[in-house]
Amino acid sequence: MPQKKDKGKAKADAPPKEITEKDLQKLASSIDKIAGKVQARQEKALAKGEAPKEKKVDPVKEAEMRKKVEQMLQALSTMEQTGAIKASGQKDMGSHQFWNTQPVPQYGENITEEGPIEPSVPRDQVRQEPYALPKEFEWCEVDITNEKEITELYQLLTLNYVEDDDAQFRFDYSAPFLKWALQPPGWKKSWHVGVRVSSNKKLVAFISGTPAAVRSHKTVHHLTEINYLCVHKKLRSKRLAPVLIKEVTRRSHLEGVFQAVYTAGTVLPKPVATCRYYHRSLNPKKLVECNFSRVPRGSTMAAMVKKFKVAEEFSTPGLREMKAEDAPQVKELANKYLSKFDVAPVFETDDDVCHWLLPTKDVVWSYVVEDPKTHKITDFFSFYTLPSSVIGNAKHSSLNAAYMFYYAVEVPEKEAADSYDNTRYTKQRLTELMRDALVAAKKVSEYSLTANFDVFNALSLMDNSMFIDDLKFGPGDGYLNYYLYNWRCREIKPHKVGLVML
Ligand SMILES: CC(C)(COP(=O)(O)OP(=O)(O)OC[C@H]1O[C@@H](n2cnc3c(N)ncnc32)[C@H](O)[C@@H]1OP(=O)(O)O)[C@@H](O)C(=O)NCCC(=O)NCCS
């Protein structure tokens, strides 16, 4: 997908700079643009019935080129983590007034041994009283089972949550989605922490924790997943975020939980992994109208519509929507598949699987492949919906995105024995399945009033690199950093990340 333009231009007489992550991202984006232009010229020539003037881009060479750029980005990320250079947007450790005081690794730290940074303590040694807020505010627990309170949370987030750098789009998690995300088995109301204005009780800030079992390398942590940190736009830069983070940490400690996992676009000390966003157009016309993507020079809207057309029907025999009785098999399949990644959730019970994967109206969709002969579940995939508000666009107010969630394939014994055959089988099977995931997203769009998907998003994690090119996903300009709190963890490559956070 064509990238949005960078706003700033380097001055001709500016002193030479260090190479930053941004420079390499620009390089990756230039390569995408060149590949896009060549492809557009070829499509145009073919449409006119002419033989393409340039040689067709060799998919293997293109894949190699992409791999090289990803490797450069990875090398850069390693250099950042060892302190050799600074990431764009990364501050000096010393200027992280808050994170400096927290049990997280330093940017330059070379981690060889894993383990907690500070020890767990018994409940009676945990601070019992909440952290102090500025005097005009008070703490609250947001009761998301209460319609009024979930609506308050929805309104806070829909107006104040994450935006892209150009403030064109803002995540718009729906109320049913938030209920689902915040109420997994074992959820705790005390971890849904809000801040209200004391005088009128308006909800102005929020942070959540949910319990999860997550393995990093060989250790399974029963930790807190931190999400939905948000401070009202009018209260920014007043150091409220650190108080929210400390308060949810204290509440985790009270429950005997001393590790956490969280993700952010922002670079903080210090990422365990960094993944890139990829986008697959489903509705190119709307994406262009929203300024999410552009028609490549030399191409036309008609050519884009043709390029991104999705089949009407599934091609994988035995593919059907997941049902509750599939949970035990899906649990086994998912846990086995996820065991090959260096950070991944562990589905401990059928309830976990049912909560996260059973289709939930207008929130999450899951499909399994049932072998027509043995009736065994051999594969599954799932995706969830996350629309974004389109800010200041005359024609559109919302962009609907499907996000790739968990999936697994069972590799038959014959192929599993050999690593080459295993990869070849996985790539072929996954590409076939994910092509059907696009079909499923389109089918959902036809019957759902709220989930009319314009784009399918995925990160460069799990085995996604095996199908993104073939299925016409394009690299975006967004990156997502993964962090562990109070745990030293060796760096993890994107394709070794098996954890998807909402
Ligand atoms: C993220 C947000 C809560 C930060 O609040 P703020 O008013 O901008 O910042 P504050 O003055 O309260 O606090 C600044 C501190 O919070 C840290 N911080 C900022 N964003 C953070 C994040 N996403 N996760 C963890 N810490 C973060 C900063 O690094 C800084 O600490 P430092 O001095 O050690 O570097 C606020 O900008 C916001 O609501 N943004 C939109 C939603 C969003 O991006 N949420 C985070 C999703 S990952």
Per-residue b or e along 362-371, where b marks 16 or more CB atoms closer than 10 Å to that residue's CB? bbbbbbbbbe
Interval 164-179 mean pLDDT:
97
- What's the count of helices (H) and strands (E) in the chain, helices before strands? 11, 16
pLDDT at position 54 over 90 = no
**Ligand 1 within 6 A of 266 CB?**
yes
Homologous superfamily in CATH for domain 93-108+130-264: Gcn5-related N-acetyltransferase (GNAT) (3.40.630.30)
Quick one: pLDDT band at residue 21, thresholds 50, 70, 90?
Answer: low
Q: Tell me the pLDDT tens digit for each residue of 227-243.
A: 999 999 999 999 999 99
Q: What is the pLDDT of residue 70?
A: 62
Q: Whose CA is nearest to atom 18 of ligand 1?
A: 241
Give the tens place of pLDDT for each residue, 423-482. 999 999 999 999 999 999 999 988 877 779 999 999 999 999 999 999 999 999 999 999
C-alpha distances in Å from residue 353, one per residue of 21, 322, 358, 435: 37, 11, 7, 23
> Which tokens go with 13?
């007489």
Nearest-atom number in ligand 1 for the CA of 238 is 11
Query: Contact 81/494 with Cβ under 8 angstroms?
Result: no
Q: Average pLDDT in the 276-288 region?
A: 97
Calculate ∠ Cα 164-168-172, nearest 5°: 75
Cα–Cα distance measured from residue 169 to residue 478, given in angstroms and rounded to the nearest whole number: 13
Give the residue, out of 235, 266, 479, 484, with the most ligand 1 atoms within 8 A of its beta carbon, to mutate for a pocket test: 266
How many CA atoms lie less than 13 Å away from 378 in the CB half-sphere?
Answer: 18
The domain spans of the chain are 21-81, 93-108+130-264, 276-479
CATH 2.40.30.10 assigned to 276-479: no
Please report the pLDDT score of residue 64 as a whole number. Answer: 59
- Model confidence pLDDT, tens digit, residues 119-144: 999 999 999 999 999 999 999 999 99
How far is ligand 1, taken at its centre, from the CA of residue 142, in Å? Answer: 20
Given the CA of residue 243, which atom of ligand 1 is nearest to it? 12
Summarize the confidence of residues 151-159 as an average pLDDT: 98
Candidates 90, 268, 479, 483: which one to mutate for ligand 1, based on the most atoms within 8 Å of Cβ?
A: 268
Question: Residue 17: its pLDDT value, please?
Answer: 43
Residue 231 backbone phi and psi in degrees, to 5: -120, 135
pLDDT mean across residues, the chain: 88
- Ligand 1 midpoint to CA 111 (Å): 25
CB of residue 264 inside a 6 A radius of ligand 1? yes
User: Do the two domains 93-108+130-264 and 276-479 of this chain adopt the same fold?
Assistant: yes
Under a CB-based contact definition with an 8 Å cutoff, are residues 204 and 235 in contact? yes
Distance in Å, CA 240 to ligand 1 centroid? 8
CA of 364 from ligand 1 middle (Å) equals 28
- Say which range, 31-35, 183-187, 358-362, 456-460, has the weakest mean pLDDT: 31-35
Average pLDDT of 173-180?
98
Cβ of 162 below 6 Å from ligand 1: yes
**Long-range contacts formed by 55-61: CB under 8 A, 24+ apart:** 59/469
> Whose CA is closest to atom 10 on ligand 1?
239
Q: Is the CB of 229 within 6 Å of ligand 1?
A: yes
Is 235 an annotated catalytic residue?
Answer: no
Q: Is the C-beta atom of 232 inside 6 A of ligand 1? A: no
The yes-or-no verdict on residue 46 having pLDDT over 60 is: no
Q: At what angle do helices 21-47 and 59-81 cross, to 10 degrees?
A: 170
Is the Cβ–Cβ distance between 198 and 137 less than 8 Å? Answer: yes
Q: How far is the CA of 242 from the centre of ligand 1 (A)?
A: 8
What would the pLDDT profile of 251-260 be if each residue is shown by its tens digit? 999 999 999 9
pLDDT at 26 over 70: no
Tokens coding 90: 């990364």
pLDDT digits (tens, 9 = 90+) for 63-105: 556 656 665 665 555 455 444 444 555 777 779 999 999 999 9
101 in contact with ligand 1, CB cutoff 6 A: no
| pLDDT given at position 92 | 78
Instruction: Pick the atom of ligand 1 nearest to 96's CA.
Output: 34
* Percent of the chain at pLDDT exceeding 70: 82
pLDDT of residue 494: 98
Specify the pLDDT at position 88.
54
